[in-house]
Amino acid sequence: MRLSIAAATVCALLSAFLGCRPAYEIESYTVPKPVRMLGAMVPVDGGAWFFKLQGPHELVEHQVDKFWEFIESVRFSSDTGEPKWDLPEGWKLAPVDSGQRYATIKVEGDLEIAVSSFDQMNMTDEQFRSANINRWRRLLSVEEVPAESLDSVVEKRSLGPLEALCVDISGTPSRRRAPMAGMAGGMGGGMGMGGGATSPAPPASGGQPKYEKPADWTDEALKPFSIATFGLPDSDGALVTISQVGGGLFANAGRWFGQAGLAPPESVDELADRLVPVEDAQGDAKLMVLSADDEPSTMTLAIVAMTHGGTDWYVKYTGTREVWQKQQDAFMALVKSIDFADSK
pLDDT exceeds 60 at position 16: no
The number of CA neighbours under 13 Å toward the Cβ of 25 is: 2
Q: In what order do the strands lie in the sheet with 218-219?
A: 218-219, 226-231, 239-244, 311-320, 299-308, 286-291, 276-277
> pLDDT tens across 237-268, in order?
899 999 886 667 887 888 888 888 888 888 88
328/317 Cα distance (integer angstroms):
9
- Report the pLDDT value the prediction gives residue 239, as an integer from 0 to 100: 93
pLDDT tens-place string over residues 20-44: 444 444 454 555 689 999 999 999 8
Q: What percent of the chain has pLDDT over 90?
A: 42
For 163-186, how does the pLDDT look when each residue is reduced to its tens digit (9 = 90+)?
999 999 999 987 544 332 222 233
Contact 106, 92 (CB under 8 A): yes
Predicted local confidence at residue 23, as pLDDT: 46
Lowest mean pLDDT among 67-76, 99-108, 225-234, 300-309: 99-108
Q: How confident is the model at residue 47 (pLDDT cuts 50, 70, 90)?
A: confident
- In this prediction, residue 248 carries a pLDDT of 75
**Res. 344: pLDDT tops 60:** no
Distance of CA 92 to the CA centre of its chain: 25
- For the chain, list the domains and their CATH numbers: 35-173 (no CATH), 179-337 (3.40.1000)
pLDDT category, 131, cuts 50, 70, 90?
Answer: confident
CB 114 within 8 A of CB 52: yes
Burial of 274 (0-12, 13-18, 19+ CB in 10 A): middle
Question: Measured between alpha carbons, how far is 176 from 134 in angstroms, rounded to an integer?
Answer: 15
Question: For a pLDDT cut of 70, what percent of the chain falls above it?
Answer: 77
Strand duo 239-244 + 276-277: pairing: unpaired
Beta strands in 160-225 (DSSP E): 162-171, 218-219
Minimum mean pLDDT range among 9-13, 212-216, 314-318:
9-13
